[in-house]
Structure 1
Amino acid sequence: MSHPMHEVLRRWKAAFDSHQPDAMADLFTPDAYFQGFGPAVLTGRDAVRGYYEAVPAGRRAEVTVLHAYTIGEQVAGGFADVTFSDAHGWEAHVHLSLVLCRDDGGWRIRQYHVSRVDAEQ
């Protein structure tokens, strides 16, 4: 059985790559905290859906899980390297951290945070 971090990021990548904002939002808890590229921390599925609706179609994500952990049977999380790209040569490399919670529907993202990686670091 794979770790929840791998499971959630596999579904997240599939939804992101196919530009499915509703599927993206469903990966999050109703009260999730979300820190994407913008300066504001967003809260809740509707805000997450709006964020992903604004992402241009055609963007893709390459994901490598760096570390995964569990706390009991209801909480998990970890860190990943993600490189976002598109067919026009745009690219952004980030570190992604997630806190996951188990509910009746499986594992969902409770907290999402990306931090851009500076190429000179």
Structure 2
Amino acid sequence: MHEVLKHWKAAFDGHQPDAMADLFTPDALFQGFGPEVLSGRDSVRGYYAAVPSDRSADVTILHTYTIGEQVAGGFADVTFRDLAGWEAAVHMSLVLQRDGDAWRIRQYHVSRISTEH
């Protein structure tokens, strides 16, 4: 989880949609800020290509787990920012799947943190 999110942050901060898409499985499920659940690397690539290039992310890993040798996951708090002062805090959950010697994101979900109910 730590290694995957290190690469995810580098790709996000560097506005590298191809590198970002490569972190996901070919059939990944993805729920970002949009209203729809996306599926697959091409959708992930398109999502991140549309993110403004001046955005960055601060990541704090909260919890990790493994299920056998092929599945892992966890939770993180992420704060997205841009140079104009925009900010969005989210909870992120990931399910990771082993792909050879690497881990790839099989399922990705973020939900905005709100103080309102």
Q: Normalising to structure 1: TM-score of the pair?
A: 0.94
Structure 1 unaligned spans of 5+? none
The reply on whether 1:60 has 2:74 as its aligned counterpart is no
1:37 to 33, 36, 44: 33
1:109 to 91, 105, 110: 105
The reply on whether 1:93 has 2:93 as its aligned counterpart is no
Alignment deviations for residues 33-64 of structure 1 (CA, whole Å, 9 cap, x no partner): 00000010000000000000000001000000
For residues 6-85 of structure 1, what are the structure 2 equivalents within 5 Å?
6-85=2-81
| Paired letter, 1:78 | G
Specify the SS of the correspondent of 1:68: strand
Q: What percent of counterpart residues are identical?
A: 77
Report the Cα offset of residue 119 of structure 1: 3.3
Report the Cα offset of residue 105 of structure 1: 5.1
Report the Cα offset of residue 68 of structure 1: 0.2
| Paired letter, 2:32 | G
CA distance in 2: counterparts of 1:105 and 1:40, whole angstroms: 31
Runs of 4+ in 1 over 4 A off after TM superposition: none
Count of residue pairs the alignment pairs up: 117
